[in-house]
Amino acid sequence: MAFWIDTHCHFDAAELRADLSDIHARAANSGVSHCVIPAVNVANFSAVRELAHQFSYSYALGIHPVCVPSASEADLITLDQALSTHRSDPRLVAVGEIGLDFFLPTLTAPAMRERQEFFYREQLRLARKYSMPVILHVRRSSDRLLKHLRDLAPAAGWSGIAHAFNGSEQQAMAFVGLGFKLGFGGALTYERALQLRRLASDLPLSALVLETDSPDIPPHWLYVDAAQRQLGQAQGRNQPAELPRIAQHLADLRGITLLALAEATSANAVQALPGLAALLRLPVQA
């Protein structure tokens, strides 16, 4: 069986809470051996850490751009303290989920964009302070994300993941050039996602990692549109066990075997988040 790493799973989400042990078992039975659980605000720092230890996963700590409107500068101090306190925890593998969201209407006003960029830059400084990779939220914001990454680049360079990437090929290669891998998940299973599928097909295999973003971004077989919802059909629940089927779509797009894809994307994940190597007993590839 292929060995998969789900590099982005909100395992602490309310939608998954009722049967986490079963979700973990289904993931393991499908070949998903590891999940990375990113925090989104200071309120769930403890939850993601405890879940990572409970299920032998890993976690990241950060303030998501969607949470920036309700965040305070005191939260940045809390993040700094948490990174310091848990810096020796082998399951803490990144600062994240951080970034910029210029899509949601509530986040696009100039003042809110400026506030997002302040929190993003301050969290990049913390990642640099603790020599940690970053997990980036990228939503119509690639160019600004890249600008701040260049401005604040540590001497050793960045590493990390641009989660749910959906920019241009030029932007993709700019992230790769700065040391990032690009996260692909359920969105690539939609035939109408032409640009995303083209990127997934054409980018270097060494640039790609796999993720579910569960319970968000469901693959096409779980998606229920508005008309179906009106008829009472419930949306399927995205979870890590869906990753191999998502991966099959990517393997088909690229014309490679599932095993080749699993080996490549797992190695890429370890390169992006080197702390995974000790947890998974895999080598960090240069």
Residue numbers belonging to the annotated binding site: 8, 10, 97, 137, 163, 213
Adjacency order of strands within the sheet including 134-139:
4-6, 32-38, 58-61, 92-101, 134-139, 160-163, 180-184, 208-210
HSE (side-chain half, CA atoms, 13 Å) at 3:
12
CB burial of residue 144 (10 Å; 0-12, 13-18, 19+): middle
Q: Give kind and range of the element (H or E) at residue 6.
A: strand 4-6
Return binding residues for a divalent metal cation. Answer: 8, 10, 97, 137, 163, 213
Q: How far is CA 241 from CA 3, 21, 23, 35, in A?
A: 12, 12, 7, 11
CB 212 within 8 Å of CB 238: yes
